[in-house]
Amino acid sequence: MPFSVPLRVLAMLCLSALLLVAPKNATEVTLARDLVSLPVVHPPALLTPEQLRLVDHLHVVWQVPLELAHRIVTATYKEAQSIGATPTLLLAMMAKESAFHPAVSNAYGAVGLMQVVPRFHPEQLSTGESLENPETNIRVGAEVFREYLDANDGALEPTMKKYSGHTGRYFQSVKAYQKEFERARTSASC
């Protein structure tokens, strides 16, 4: 098992090393003190090569900040497995719904990556949860999608139509995006 040093411990070691050398001015002391107050950073979940390719694709092509792309892909894989869907389908829905902007909302009241309308799905939200949180939004959106899929006996096109609020060409757009994400997922360039 590889040895890892928590960031706070590393900061303390750096501070100790800095204090061994007499500071030349007050700025050096202030910088050293600031190192101790750094927040604890938890390492991101380990991703498979295909997940990393999708993170890279979101970051490069869709201009999603790297940390957010990582969170989106991690949550998407978790929720896709939970509801028995393909991750690229959920990513395609997010592309169509929000272009991967977690704080986006519309006049109808839909919020977040998967454009969930909270007034229609209050039972899926716990107290204090925000649909602007990517993980929450993906979880709730995936649950709603699964509910609609079950109501349509597994038929994807009517499920997508219901999810979109009966907008035209939604199914075709999502399928095109899904092909894009499948290509990125399976590409050899990573």
Average of per-residue pLDDT across 35-54: 70
Task: Provide the percentage of residues in the chain whose pLDDT is more than 90.
Answer: 65
Distance in Å from the first CA to the final CA of the chain: 25
- Convert the pLDDT of each residue in 46-92 to its tens digit: 899 999 999 999 999 999 999 999 999 999 999 999 999 999 999 99
pLDDT value of position 109: 92
Q: Does 5 have pLDDT greater than 50?
A: no
Average of per-residue pLDDT across 155-168: 94
Count CB atoms within 10 A of the CB of residue 59.
16
- Convert the pLDDT of each residue in 110-160 to its tens digit: 999 999 998 887 777 777 788 999 999 999 999 999 999 999 999 999 999
Q: Distance between CA atoms of 141 and 76, rounded to whole angstroms? A: 10
Q: For residues 128 and 136, is the Cβ–Cβ distance under 8 A? A: no
pLDDT value of position 183: 98
Domain spans of the chain, in order of start: 1-43, 49-186
**CATH number of the domain located at residue range(s) 49-186 in this protein:** 1.10.530.10
Q: Distance between CA atoms of 158 and 169, rounded to whole angstroms? A: 12
